[in-house]
Amino acid sequence: MRVLVVSATPSEIAPIVAQLRPASERRSNPTAYSRAGHDVDVLITGVGMVAAAAWCSRTLAVTPYDVALNFGLCGSFDPALAPGSVVHVTSDRIAELGAEDDDTFLTIQQLNLLGDDEYPFRGGRLVNTAPPESASLGALPAVDGITVNTVHGSGRSIATVMRRFAPQVESMEGAAFMYACLIHGLAFAQVRAVSNVVEKRNRDAWRVADAISTLHVAALSILDDL
């Protein structure tokens, strides 16, 4: 099986990559490894949905894969998802895609620029209806996410996005990864570990190292299940 592993930054998946076997001495993007009998290419996209969309689309257009896995961190709006939790984001939305109408936000669908169920959207969201078969993946909580250019860090903006979309987690790349996989007809999963509660910005409360540690365990288990 040929697997594409996607991450925004090297640090998020460094412990995972350390457990893969290099398949070549040549460093490239993506870089070739192997694990559990699979060919595993690791793609580092850089931060943000533009970079993620561009690198994912370029890579998927050049090389055929059986499965794509996005491993990364996220912030949690859901009190049940504490830092260190690992989740499977099965639906995602580009939260800022739309227009302001005075104090009202209009989604791209409400502007009639895109239909609610216009491919690859379902009800205005990007939805993963057929993730890879993996017992480890199936054991993770399935959550709804949003993808943003600006992570939330004020009480007012958090209350607003909760009222609009009621997301459970947020990232800066997830929807771009899902969009690329959907238009390429590829089985995929977006798996994230919670690094922080989404609240008034409080960097001291973040648990990045803990999140990377739990993501590492979950990711290797999923790879070994495929």
The pLDDT score that the predictor gives to residue 8 is 98
Tens of pLDDT, residues 89-98: 999 999 999 9
Enumerate residue ranges in the chain where pLDDT < 50: none
Model confidence, pTM:
0.95
Of 40, 44, 42, the closest CA to residue 8 belongs to 44
Is the CATH code 3.40.50.1580 the one for domain 2-225?
Answer: yes
Tens of pLDDT, residues 35-46: 989 999 999 999
The pLDDT score that the predictor gives to residue 112 is 93
User: What phi and psi values does residue 132 have, to the nearest 5 degrees?
Assistant: -60, 150
How do the domains of the chain map onto residue ranges?
2-225
Q: What is the DSSP string of 32-86?
A: EEEETTEEEEEEE--SSHHHHHHHHHHHHHHS--SEEEEEEEEEE--TTS-TT-E
Tens of pLDDT, residues 45-66: 999 999 999 999 999 999 999 9
Please answer whether residues 221 and 136 qualify as being in contact, where contact means their C-beta atoms are separated by less than 8 angstroms: yes
- Taking residue 117's Cβ as centre, other Cβ atoms within 10 Å add up to 11
Distance CA 6, CA 52 (A): 9
